[in-house]
Structure 1
Amino acid sequence: MEITHVTIKDLPTILRIERLGFTAEEAGTETQYRDRIEKLVDTFLVAKIDNQVVGFVVGPATKQPYVEDWMYEDTPTNLASGGHQIIFTIAIDPKYRGHSIGSKLLDAVEKDAIKHQRETISLTSLDRNIPFYLKNGFENKGVADSDHADETWYNLVKRLS
């Protein structure tokens, strides 16, 4: 498996994986993903097996410590250094789940975040996915101030040294 930065050629597969992993209300749109590829190429990673995208992780580096709903509609530009690494989405093709790809993507995000002197990595999660993030060193900070897709989301944070 290889982890690389996203390219526009990866978009169709990213959209397919997104739709397989999220409800229509939760999922990002093609327009949103085009914007994310353009603005967040430095913090948009894809996992590939045999040159095929099997998973991805994306989010901006911001001054805000938590994901805020407005960010999904108006993608922030990455800070050059410092701040907080936000994760909008981590998604794995269902055929490749259970092979530690998600954990490896989180490790790659963490290495990059440390290199760029970020304070934390932060994301929101539905209750059912919290055990995965706890296993990967995140702390549950409680219910997020979010009404995204009209669901209950939790803030998960990993402090960086």
Structure 2
Amino acid sequence: MEIRTATPADLAAVTALEAACFPPAEAAGEASFQARLAAFPDSFWLLVEGGRVLAMVNGMVTQQPDLTDAMYDDASLHDPAGPWQMIFGVATHPDCRCRGYAGTLLRHAIQETRARGKAGLVLTCKEKLVPYYARFGFVSEGPSASQHGGAAWYQMRLRV
């Protein structure tokens, strides 16, 4: 297994993985991933084995301290000089869950964010996942203003 950043050649694989992991209202589509791969490939991490994408973590860097719904589909909001690494999605192929793959990628994203001198990482998650992300040092800031996909989200922050 290897961890690497995504390339445009991964477009079909990451789009399929997203569709397998999230409800249609929450899943990013091909056009969104195409824009993300063009704008912030260095913040789009994959866990790959034998050419198959098993898990991914992706998100932009920004000056804004809070994750907003606009960020999901507007890759132009990426600002590599910003202090905050946003995490839009953490996804593991359904056949590969409960093997620690997501955790491996999250630890990698945290390490990369620290090495880049950023202030930290921000993500939103459903309430049932708050304890999971807390294991990595993320702190819940309570309900998020996000209404992405019509779901209730909690914002979590990890200062590095």
What TM-score does the superposition give when structure 1 sets the normalisation length? 0.94
d(CA) in 2 for partners of 1:21, 1:131: 19
d(CA) in 1 for partners of 2:2, 2:125: 25
What TM-score does the superposition give when structure 2 sets the normalisation length? 0.95
Which deviations, in whole Å up to 9, do the C-alpha atoms of 1:28-82 show, x marking residues without a partner? 01000000000011111110012211011110111111211111121122424x5
SS in 1 for 2:55: strand
Structure-2 residue corresponding to 1:125: 125
Retained in 1: the 8 A contact 2:63–2:79?
no
d(CA) in 1 for partners of 2:135, 2:69: 25
SS in 2 for 1:122: strand
For the pair 1:9 / 2:9, whether they are aligned, the reply is yes
Letter in 2 for 1:77: H
Structure-2 residue corresponding to 1:79: 80
Q: CA deviation at 1:139?
A: 0.8
Q: CA RMSD in A?
A: 1.1
Structure-2 residue corresponding to 1:147: 147
Retained in 1: the 8 A contact 2:143–2:154?
yes
Aligned residues: 159
Structure-2 residue corresponding to 1:18: 18
Q: After TM superposition, which residue ranges in structure 1, 4 or more long, deviate above 6 angstroms?
A: none
- Unaligned ranges ≥5, structure 2: none
d(CA) in 2 for partners of 1:127, 1:22: 15
- Identity, % of aligned positions: 29
Q: 1:10-159 residue pairs with structure 2 within 5 A?
A: 10-75=10-75, 76-80=77-81, 83-159=83-159
